Amino acid sequence: MAYSFAKASLSLAVSNSCQKSNSKVTSSRFSSRKPLTVVAATRNQDSSWYEVEDMSPPPTRLGVHDLPKNTHNGDTITIEVEAQAQDYVVQRTVLRYKLERGRYRPKERRLEVRKTGRFLYNKFLENVYNLDVNQS
Tell me which H or E stretch contains 127.
helix 116-135
Of 6, 4, 9, whose CA–CA distance to 106 is shortest? Answer: 9
Kindly report the number of other CB atoms within 10 A of residue 120's CB atom.
12
Q: Is the pLDDT of residue 25 over 80?
A: no
Tell me which H or E stretch contains 21.
strand 18-21
Digit-coded pLDDT (tens) for 122-134: 999 999 999 888 8
pTM score: 0.61
Residues 109-118, buried b or exposed e (16+ Cβ, 10 A)?
Answer: bbbbbbbeeb
Digit-coded pLDDT (tens) for 34-72: 443 333 344 566 788 999 999 988 999 999 999 998 999
Residue 9 bridge partners (DSSP): none
Q: Is the pLDDT of residue 32 over 60?
A: no
How does strand 60-68 pair with strand 37-40? unpaired
Tell me, what's the pLDDT at 81? Answer: 81
The more confident residue out of 13 and 101 is 101
Q: One-letter amino acid identity for 81?
A: V
Report how far residue 107's alpha carbon sits from residue 99's, in angstroms, rounded to the nearest whole number: 9
How does strand 37-40 pair with strand 10-13? antiparallel
